[in-house]
Amino acid sequence: MTEKQDISPSDDRRSIDPLLLDSQLCFSLYSTMHAFNKTYRRVLKGLDLTYPQYLVMLVLWERDELNVSDICDRLRLETTTVTPLLKRLEGRGVLRRERSKQDERQVIISLTDVGRTLKEQARNIPHCMAEALECSLDEMIDLQGRLDRIRENLSKHL
């Protein structure tokens, strides 16, 4: 019978074999994002929002009455990804989609009263996530800065 090997990210073998799964930064980010999504699913359940819908709402809570392309730019997503989210949120009555009076090609997205009320109900979400992370505020700020820098550096190569 063979003993199961424990290969952890801190294992020294990563410097010997760079093709170990746990040596891959991309896998660490991918699996962390998967854990984030599962945690957000639980935390957002009471608001009846998915994580992508929550991101759209965060953008609109920051600044109401945006066109679709502004929302896409802010989220770094394509229109084909964002439009179905907006349609579902409109169906729930949390936002409105209207053609711009100045340029009929543009669709303006604005919050309804239900959407503004949802913001108050969501106020505790960041706190719940911070508790789940078990990190200090300083650690979270440092990590976010590092991740932002990684994203910016990678974006230069797209």
- Per-residue pLDDT tens over the stretch 63-109: 999 999 999 999 999 999 999 999 999 999 999 999 988 888 899 99
Among residues 121, 128, 140, 131, the alpha carbon closest in space to that of 42 is found at 128
Strand partners, 107: 99
3-state secondary structure of 101: coil
Q: Where are the domains of the chain?
A: 27-119, 124-158
Judge if pTM exceeds 0.95. no
**Residue 76 C-beta-side C-alpha neighbours within 13 Å:** 5
25-34 b/e (C-beta count within 10 Å ≥ 16 → b): eeeeeeeeee
What is the pLDDT averaged over residues 144-158?
95
In this predicted structure, the answer to whether residue 6 has a pLDDT above a threshold of 70 is no
- The topology (CATH level 3) of 27-119 is Arc Repressor Mutant, subunit A (1.10.10)
